[in-house]
Amino acid sequence: MSDAGVQPTVLAVDDEPDLAELYRVYLDTAYDVRIATGGEEALSLMDESVDVVLLDRRMPDMSGREVLDAIRGEGYDARIAMLTAVEPDVDIVEMSFDDYKTKPVTKKELITLVEVLLHRAKFNEQSQKFFALASKKAALEAAGAANTEEYEELLDRVETVRDRVDDTLDHLSARDAFIEVSSTLS
């Protein structure tokens, strides 16, 4: 993760080069942006300085899930958002990402997503886990996959984590927790 005073680093991974470059254009005034057009390239660009990864799910050389598993397997502490055209399904429940957004996204939505992930990175591990589960819950509800056994199990996990979350969330308002960061970049 980036040190204080250093521009946060975002790794944008999409097999469509023009889209990856567009993400760079959207973000490069406020962040150090690296782009990769495939999974192997993404892993070669990944290191401890990466704060946020924007990860496509469907790529030809490695799937987004494989890249996600490799990043988590290496122990990197980056916040990861699946940013994809793939509608979420119950398979996302076991994936270790922090947020899920369906493309296309606007410049403002992309900037807000990165800001929210950077904000959440300041929270303790249990709070981060809660927000990741809440994101999965919202994605499944939006996709109409709320009437499944996996969704019900996810609800149980959300409640279990909510019960474990320490005083951090007690001291945050809902606005702070799901901050909609106003950006001067828009």
> Has residue 15 been placed in a domain?
yes
pTM of structure: 0.79
Proportion of the chain above pLDDT 90, given as a percent: 52
Tally of domains in the chain: 1
Question: For position 92, which CATH number holds?
Answer: 3.40.50.2300
> Has residue 3 been placed in a domain?
no
In the predicted structure, residue 169 carries a pLDDT above the cut 70: no
Pairing of strands 99-102, 79-84: parallel
- Rounded to an integer, what distance in angstroms lies between the CA atom of residue 139 and that of residue 173? 22
> Has residue 182 been placed in a domain?
no
Tokens at 83, concatenated: 């940013």
pLDDT in tens, 148-157: 888 889 998 8
Q: How far is CA 73 from CA 25, 103, 172, in A?
A: 30, 26, 31
pLDDT in tens, 71-81: 999 999 999 99
Pairing of strands 79-84, 9-13: unpaired
